[in-house]
A = this chain, B = another copy of it.
Amino acid sequence: MSKYWNELTKKIEPYVAGEQPKDKKYIKLNTNENPYPPSPKVLKAISDANNSDLRLYPDPDCDKLRETVANYYDLNKNQVFVGNGSDEVLAFSFLTFFSSDKEIVYPDISYSFYPVYAGLYGLKARLSALKEDFSIDVEDFLKENGGVVIPNPNAPTGKYLDIKAIKRILEFNNENVVIIDEAYVDFGGESVVGLIKDYPNLLVIQTLSKSRALAGMRIGLALGREELIDGLNRIKNSFNSYTSDRIAQVAAVAAFEDDEYFKICSNKIIKTREKVTKRLTEIGFKVIPSKANFIFASHSKMLAKDIFIKLREKGVLVRYFNKPKIDNYLRISIGSKEEMDTFLEKVEEII
């Protein structure tokens, strides 16, 4: 605490990111990174951009990247917003569309950055309790509110909400912005980007950190009607004109251009996820059906916390949340086949 901090700084509770340990080499299954490297075309694009032009500011509008993404999703470039990771895009979205006079709604078990943004901007939030099976209670989003945020698939559960349910939510909330956070949509879910043409209140948020294996380069996207993207640009340009650097922009373009590589890697991860789910179930785990690059699992005989600690000792990091309702679950990122074989081996030793 310092007398130089303002009241907000004193009272805010910052987000705590998954551990990035520096003490020794772990099998890292705790931050949902992609086990496969970025496309070789991404590395080539970075290499080509590594030149004296780095002395110049990047394109603040990210035109080439926005055109590439627009083309990929059959949008126009004014329906695409680029940020420094999807966390920044979410931070801007909360600030652009939500106000302190009306409660926003998101699931009680969800991405733990949402309540932090609400705290940062002094927003009131209503938490919608997940049902017993961790599915989202759609009815809770069909009540008066000042904005909706739903990750789909949800994190850390991996549960997917079907498009029909999302349409109902979009229809009811036609006066408010509905954010669908699709950080994990490429692992078996279906994006709602196609609904943008029908719903002016829909803002889809995506990241290149997971399915496109570029967590290290910080690129996030918002997709929606031009009026929503215009609003985001107003706030972004009141905060930092150049949020995406030269290398990040070319890397992202190349990642979207190499669709084949992206699909191959995503499919490998889906296959590994199904295999690991099956094996964990066989040895007494309850595994929530996942459409993400992680699974959420609980064991009938041993506490999640104990498994977490023992796995750590054996050099495997997974994520444990010491929070009501989910404190007996582990979130396990899907690594490579070899990593997951080692993980299963260690788990079997522990159980």
Give chain A's interface residues, CB within 8 Å of chain B: 2-9, 12-17, 20, 22, 28, 31, 33-38, 42-43, 46-47, 50-60, 63, 84-85, 87-88, 91, 95-99, 116-117, 119-120, 175-177, 200-201, 209, 213-218, 227-228, 230-231, 233-248, 251
Contact = CB atoms under 8 A, between A and B. Distances in A.
Nearest to A52: B37
A14 B54 contact: no
15 contacts: A5-B96, A20-B57, A20-B59, A33-B56, A35-B55, A37-B52, A37-B54, A50-B50, A53-B216, A57-B215, A58-B216, A87-B239, A87-B240, A88-B240, A245-B245
Contacts of A14: 233-238
A45 to B, nearest CB: 10
Which applies to chain A's interface (DSSP): helix, strand, loop or mixed? loop
Nearest to A236: B14
A35 B54 CA distance: 11
Contacts of A13: 238
B242 A218 contact: yes
A239 B54 CA distance: 26
A94 to B, nearest CB: 10
B47 A215 contact: no
Contact of A216 (B201, B214, B245, B251): B245
B37 A216 contact: no
A4 B97 contact: yes
Contacts of A200: 4
A239 B9 contact: no
Given A12-B235, A243-B84, A56 B97 contact: no
A43 B50 contact: yes
